[in-house]
A and B are shown apart, each in its own frame.
Chain A
């Protein structure tokens, strides 16, 4: 289990990084590497070049705007730079204050040691439907900012996730930051998941956002991409079945589809109740 050979570039600026990527169609960006390096070591991926962005200054910024700052959105928001490690985002009291769903989900991302190196933006653009942060981005209607040869563009969450481990970030683009809006006053969020072992990818996970009558729940590990279902107006005892009408949980060696469906029922009820409690200030 050793990686195949690759060329290595460690640019000092974003522009250099973009041009390195442009020069090698089979290049990959190395940020935290916590998902990429195992793929390389197992030779499930063998890119010709790695562009290590860890030497680019300022990409680790975590910028939080409060509601009313009107810099990003009406309710404020959180912008996380490409080199911000999960651990730093999780530890940030500002992030917790403005968008508590982010730390709620982050504490379920692998183990603490992985979170020390892994990046939140990397986890999002890795586009693993079993991962927590893509669901958070999708549920909150966040976005990812990318830089490519044509300059910067913003990819909204609903256009980001194309399929299993496939995002709409082009091969010559670098995800520079991810943004999620803050939590509106009077709204509530919750996150829960069930995994075989603590720290494993979830068999099913769910994140809820309740804003007034509007109830939305995002799911991980139930499809090829993170899936958000609108459950507004659904009676409490019908939440799970209503969600399942939009989901097609898979079978695998750890759980049957029927069991995953059961977890969808249980978790949907739990996270909606919990988000509603938060919204109601309980």
Chain B
């Protein structure tokens, strides 16, 4: 008995991909294994850690809590799509570099996508808002101290580049 396969057209970082997957293929797995976009990481597969967070039509969502078949028709943005068009680091990425906002780097893509959307909605966060912006992502390495600094620095860089 063969499992039914679905043709799915995914739009990721502006590029369109056609894949043929079973309905149960998690979006996180489709991005990583079917499209080779391994920047999105899987840390818990139950929606708690946030490592797999991507932007769906601009809003951060857990790609481990969506199926690839449900993602058709949406604009998806992964960490691979966060650099500036000229290839230089985007403001949030640059801020993480400057502030030592990452160590092992595994949770980082989820933070970068989340903060990118967060700063778009609120370009000048207060310190409390900066902390709140990352309150749904787990990091085991940094103790979050420098990630909070990176949110604040990214807001500055965003303003400088605007």
Q: Is the CB of B61 within 8 A of A116?
A: yes
Task: Please state if A117 and B62 are interface contacts (CB–CB under 8 Å).
Answer: yes
A3 to B70, CA, bound (A): 15
Q: How far is the CB of B54 from chain A (nearest CB, A)?
A: 10
Residues in B neighbouring A6, C-beta threshold 8 A: 23-24
* Contact assessment for A37 and B47 in the assembled complex, using a CB-CB cutoff below 8 Å: yes
Q: Are B50 and A113 in contact (CB under 8 A)?
A: yes
B70 contacts A54, CB within 8 Å? yes
B27 to A, closest residue via Cβ: A37
Contacts of B50 in A (CB 8 A): 111, 113
A158 to B26, CA, bound (A): 36
The answer to the question of B64 belonging to the interface, with a C-beta cut-off of 8 Å to chain A, is yes
* Bound-complex Cα distance A112 to B69 (A): 23
Task: Give the B interface residue count (CB, 8 A).
Answer: 28
- CB atoms of A113 and B136 under 8 A apart: yes
Chain B positions 40 through 69: 1 when the CB is less than 8 Å from some CB of chain A, otherwise 0: 000001110010010010011110111101
Do the beta carbons of A7 and B23 come within 8 Å of each other? yes
Tell me whether B22 is interfacial, beta carbon within 8 Å: yes
Q: Which of these, B46, B53, B62, B135, contacts A1 with CB under 8 Å?
A: B46
Residue contact A3 to B24, C-beta cutoff 8 Å = yes
Interface residues of A in 68-110 (CB under 8 A from B): 87, 110
Whether the Cβ atoms of B6 and A37 lie closer than 8 Å is no
Using known A-B contacts A30-B70, A37-B65, A54-B70, determine if residue A113 contacts B24 with beta carbons closer than 8 Å. no
Asked if B59 and A1 make an inter-chain contact with CB atoms under 8 angstroms apart, the answer reads no
| Chain A residues numbered 190-211 whose CB sits less than 8 Å from any CB in chain B | 198-199
Q: How far is the CA of A41 from the CA of B70 in the complex (A)?
A: 16
Q: From the candidates A8, A42, A87, A198, name the one contacting B4 in the complex (CB within 8 A).
A: A8
Are B69 and A10 in contact, CB atoms less than 8 angstroms apart? yes
Q: How many Å lie between the Cα of A114 and that of B60 in the bound state? A: 8
Q: With the chains together, A117 CA to B50 CA distance in Å?
A: 13
- List, in ascending order, chain A residues with CB within 8 A of B45's CB: 1-2, 38, 41
B3 within 8 A of A: yes
Contact B135 A52 (CB under 8 A): no
**A:7-30 near B, CB below 8 Å:** 7-8, 10, 30
* Cβ proximity bits A35-76 to B, threshold 8 Å, 1 near / 0 not: 001101110000000101010000000000000000000000
- Cβ–Cβ < 8 Å partners of A30 in chain B: 67, 70
Q: Which of A37, A40, A113, A117 has the most CB of B within 10 A?
A: A113
A-B pairs, top 8 by smallest CB distance, nearest first, are: A111-B136, A8-B23, A38-B46, A3-B24, A1-B45, A37-B65, A116-B59, A113-B60
Q: Which residues of B contact A (CB under 8 A)?
A: 3-4, 6, 22-24, 26, 29, 45-47, 50, 53, 56, 59-62, 64-67, 69-70, 114, 135-137
Give 10 pairs: A residue, B residue, CB < 8 Å, sorted on A. Answer: A2-B26, A7-B23, A30-B67, A37-B26, A52-B70, A114-B62, A114-B136, A116-B59, A117-B62, A117-B65
